[in-house]
Every structure is written in C-alpha cells, then in structure tokens.
C-alpha cells in the first residue's frame, strides 16, 4: 500500500471515529433528556413558598392581604406570572392554579381549621379537581411481574364491584371523621361540602384510622357485630312489601321512603357489602334535618314526616362526587347503574342515606358523561403523569391584633402536552 493510500485509510478511520463520537453524544443526550425530568412538584413548592412569603412575613399576616385590592391583584402583588411559557397553547389554557385560604385557628378541629375568613384563587380551576383525582390511589396492578406478584402476596387485591354512597348525618367533616374513628368504623373517601376529598392519602392526625386505602376492606356497610348485629334480610322481611330484596341482591329502592317508619323489630341488613365495595361519605346532615330547623336544613326535603338536607346546598360536593365515582368506576370497570352504584339505604333497612333528595338519575348520567370524557382524555387515567402535580401546605400565623389563623396555600402545576379544558 502506498503512502497516499495509507493517508486515505487513516482519514477515513478518523472520520469514522468522529461519527462514532457524534452518535455517542446523541445517544447519551437521548438517555438524559429523552424522557424529561418532571420538576412540577418542585415548581409547585417554589410557588407555594413565594405565596406564603407574600401573605405573611415576620410572623404576621400582611395587613393588605384582607383588602379587596389584594384579591384583585393577587398574582401581581405576589410577583407571579402564569403566562411566561407559550408552547402547546399553554397561554390559552392556564397550566397553573393557586388558592389561598385563611381560617380562624380552631384547636378543637382535627386540622385546626375554624371558620374561613379569606379566600382568593387564580388560574385554571379544573386543575384542582384533576389534582384531587391524582391523589386517588391507583387500581391494584393486574400485571404478572414478580414485583406485582410479591405485592399481591402481602396485600392481596380485592375485586371492587360496588360503590356505596353515604351521608355523614352531620354538618362538618371533622365531626364525622371523629365519629367514624370513635365507632371503629372506616371509609375510603369523604367529600366535604366545598368539594374537598379526604382519603387515606392525607388522614387527620388523631383519626388516621377513619380512612383506609382502596385495596383494604373498609367497615362502612356492615351489619354490625355481636348483640347489635342485624338479622339478614330475606324475601319476607324488610320494608315495603313481601319482596324487599330486588333481583340484583340489594334492597328495593322503594324501601327508602319507609325505612324511618320501620319498627326496630323488622330491621334487617344484607351482608357482605364491605368486602367488594368502596365507601364514599358525603358531608351532609341527611335525616338529622327532621329535628333541625334553619342552617343547612333551611330548604330540607320532607317525606313521610321526615326531613333530609337538600343536596342543592353543595354543588361543589356533587361535582367532586361525580368525578370521583367516574374515576373509580373507570379504573375498576364498574358499571354505572343503580345495581353497582348504590345508597347505604339499599343495604340496611333503617338507613336512609343519601336520602330521597339525592338526584340518582341526574347523578348517574353525569358520571357516565364524565367517564366518557376521562376515557377520551388519553392519559388522565392511563398515564398518571398527565395529571397535575400540586402542593397543599399550611402554616400558623397571627394578624396585627394577635388573632390566630391558619393559612392554607394550594398550588398546582400541570404543564403537559395534553391540555385540560
């Protein structure tokens, strides 16, 4: 081989080496940046800190916070701008939501929250609901991987096929949670009047045992134990006529209208509903309105000498219930009908919740629509990373008169390719 040929071969070798290096650079970059880092949680934390600093400093809530001017210029006053990034049409569909609520300090409340005295929010309100759903646990893994097999040995998954809706028969979530805990009962979810969803993900300190995760059987729809155990319903027992149990194994819906007048000697219960159901409590006075006038019972629904709280009092609660039930039904493949989404009264004859005012037809229609929307929004259920990341934090603060408050700051960041309307 002559000298020129050697040079040519060497040149080719060096260029080949250069291409290999270039390919390696692309490959390494792809490893690091091919799947981007999700820093939304950190961003939400940073935003929370910014807002907390804006609301209170040196131990006191800034005096301007309670003014209308602060409400109107909340973002500007806190030096926040939601429109700095303009890709994927984010400017037209805000990717942030933030909310500041100030409550009176109440040492008797499970979360110290007394009366709400201030509220301001900015951004895309739909993100709040999506974030709440992101706190809902995922359905048990159906995969056959070793990890899921090991997990299933230690926490056997159960087949969930029913959703039972209750009312707390009380005016506040705090009181209801305490009652559930004290009576050694448990539930999977509780929805407050303002739409907030409580679950085992964020249980209150003293009453952590009131909530259990979805994979665990809760004690919310049982027939009691020992001397207080109710007899099981048969075709000849129960409520309206000789066939109280409908063909699908639950009490006939007509029972509800008469349960209050059923003598205790005839009370009965259908066993086994705890095993395969998810229990959702709605903060609502329910039948307690029979003995209460005014307040939440002002527009109570009357039937057969009894009165129930009107669900029109809490539209945000109903909205959250629709979304939560649609989410659960979709994940567990539960049919959205009156055989699978039932009221507590359909299990135990002396129970009436959620009451005759509960708009079953309208509710189930809304759940079906929401379920369809969730299915279309590729990713809302299947790819959880499309759900927004949020931070809800609280701090104790004083005003200039020394009054005690709890300041609650919620910040949510979505910033995914797929937009929320």
Partner 1 sequence: MLHNKKAQIPETLTWVPAALIIVLILAVTIIATIVLFRTSSFSRDSRTINVHYSSDLFAEKSLASYFLTTDNGETVYSELNSAGDFNNFNGNLAKNIFTLLYHSEYPGGVYLGFYNPNSLLTIENNQYFGSAPSLGAQSGLTGTVYIRQDINELIYLDKNKFLHLILAGGFL
Q: Which residues bind partner 1 (CB under 8 A)?
A: 11, 15, 18-19, 22, 25-26, 29-30, 33-42, 45, 48-49, 52-53, 56, 58-60, 87-88, 107, 110-112, 202-205, 383-386, 393-398, 402, 404, 406, 409, 415-418
Q: Please give the C-alpha separations between residue 347 and each of 15, 149, 242, 257, 280, in angstroms, as whole numbers.
A: 78, 34, 16, 14, 14
Q: Of 107 and 156, which CB lies nearer to partner 1 in the complex structure?
A: 107
Query: Min. distance of Cβ 283 from partner 1 in angstroms?
Result: 19
Query: Min. distance of Cβ 393 from partner 1 in angstroms?
Result: 5
Q: Of 16 and 298, which CB lies nearer to partner 1 in the complex structure?
A: 16
Q: Of 21 and 298, which CB lies nearer to partner 1 in the complex structure?
A: 21
Q: Which residue's entry shows tokens 């040995």?
A: 153
Q: Of 282 and 387, which CB lies nearer to partner 1 in the complex structure?
A: 387
Query: Min. distance of Cβ 94 from partner 1 in angstroms?
Result: 16
Q: From 151, 274, 279, select the one nearest 217 (Cα to Cα).
A: 274
- By DSSP bridging, strand 162-167 and strand 341-343 are parallel
Q: Torsions phi, psi of 420, nearest 5?
A: -95, 135
Q: Of 373 and 417, which CB lies nearer to partner 1 in the complex structure?
A: 417
Which residues neighbour 153 within 8 Å (Cβ) at sequence distance 6 or greater? none
Query: Min. distance of Cβ 11 from partner 1 in angstroms?
Result: 8
Q: From 268, 250, 244, select the one nearest 350 (Cα to Cα).
A: 268
Query: Min. distance of Cβ 27 from partner 1 in angstroms?
Result: 10
Peptide bond into 171 cis (omega under 30): no
Q: Of 209 and 417, which CB lies nearer to partner 1 in the complex structure?
A: 417
Cα dihedral 295, 299, 302, 306, rounded to 10, equals 0
Query: Min. distance of Cβ 264 from partner 1 in angstroms?
Result: 40
Q: Please give the C-alpha separations between residue 24 and each of 18, 21, 148, in angstroms, as whole numbers.
A: 10, 5, 35
Query: For residue 298, what is the DSSP state?
Result: T
């Amino acid at each position: 081989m002559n000298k020129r040929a050697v040079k040519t071969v060497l040149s080719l070798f060096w260029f080949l080496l250069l291409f290999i290096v270039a390919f390696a650079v692309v490959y390494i970059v792809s490893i690091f940046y091919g799947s981007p880092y999700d820093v939304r949680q950190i961003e939400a934390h940073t935003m929370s800190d910014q807002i907390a600093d804006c609301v209170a400093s040196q131990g006191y809530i800034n005096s301007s916070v309670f003014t209308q001017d602060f409400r109107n210029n909340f973002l500007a006053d806190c030096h926040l701008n939601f429109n700095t990034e303009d890709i994927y049409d984010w400017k037209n569909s805000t990717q942030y939501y933030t909310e500041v609520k100030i409550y009176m300090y109440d040492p008797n409340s499970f979360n110290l929250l007394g009366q709400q005295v201030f509220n301001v929010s900015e951004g895309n309100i739909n993100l709040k609901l999506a974030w709440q759903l992101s706190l809902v646990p995922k359905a048990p893994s159906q995969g056959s991987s070793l990890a899921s097999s090991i997990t299933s040995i230690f926490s056997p998954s159960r087949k969930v096929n029913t959703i039972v809706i209750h009312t707390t028969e009380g005016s506040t979530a705090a009181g209801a949670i305490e009652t559930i805990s004290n009576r050694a009962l448990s539930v999977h979810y509780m929805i407050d009047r303002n739409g907030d969803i409580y679950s085992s993900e964020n249980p209150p300190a003293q009453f952590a045992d009131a909530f259990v995760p979805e994979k665990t059987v809760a004690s919310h729809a049982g027939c009691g134990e020992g001397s207080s155990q109710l007899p099981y319903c048969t075709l000849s027992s129960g409520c309206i006529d000789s066939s109280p149990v409908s063909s699908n194994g639950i009490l006939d819906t007509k029972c509800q209208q008469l349960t209050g007048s059923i003598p205790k000697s005839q009370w009965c219960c259908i066993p086994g509903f705890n095993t395969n159901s998810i229990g959702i409590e709605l903060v609502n006075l329910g039948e307690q309105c029979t003995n209460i006038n005014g307040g939440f019972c002002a527009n109570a629904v009357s039937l057969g000498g009894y009165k129930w709280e009107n669900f029109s009092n809490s539209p945000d609660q109903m909205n959250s219930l629709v979304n939560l039930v649609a989410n659960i039904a979709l994940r567990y493949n539960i049919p959205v009908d009156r055989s699978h989404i039932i009221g507590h009264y359909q299990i135990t004859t002396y129970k009436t919740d959620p009451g005759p005012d509960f708009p079953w037809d309208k509710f189930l229609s809304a759940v079906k629509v929401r379920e369809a929307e969730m299915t279309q929004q590729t990713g809302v259920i299947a790819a959880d990373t499309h759900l927004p990341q949020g931070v809800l934090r609280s701090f104790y603060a004083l005003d200039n008169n020394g009054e005690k408050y709890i300041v609650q700051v919620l910040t949510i960041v979505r910033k995914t390719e797929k937009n929320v309307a």
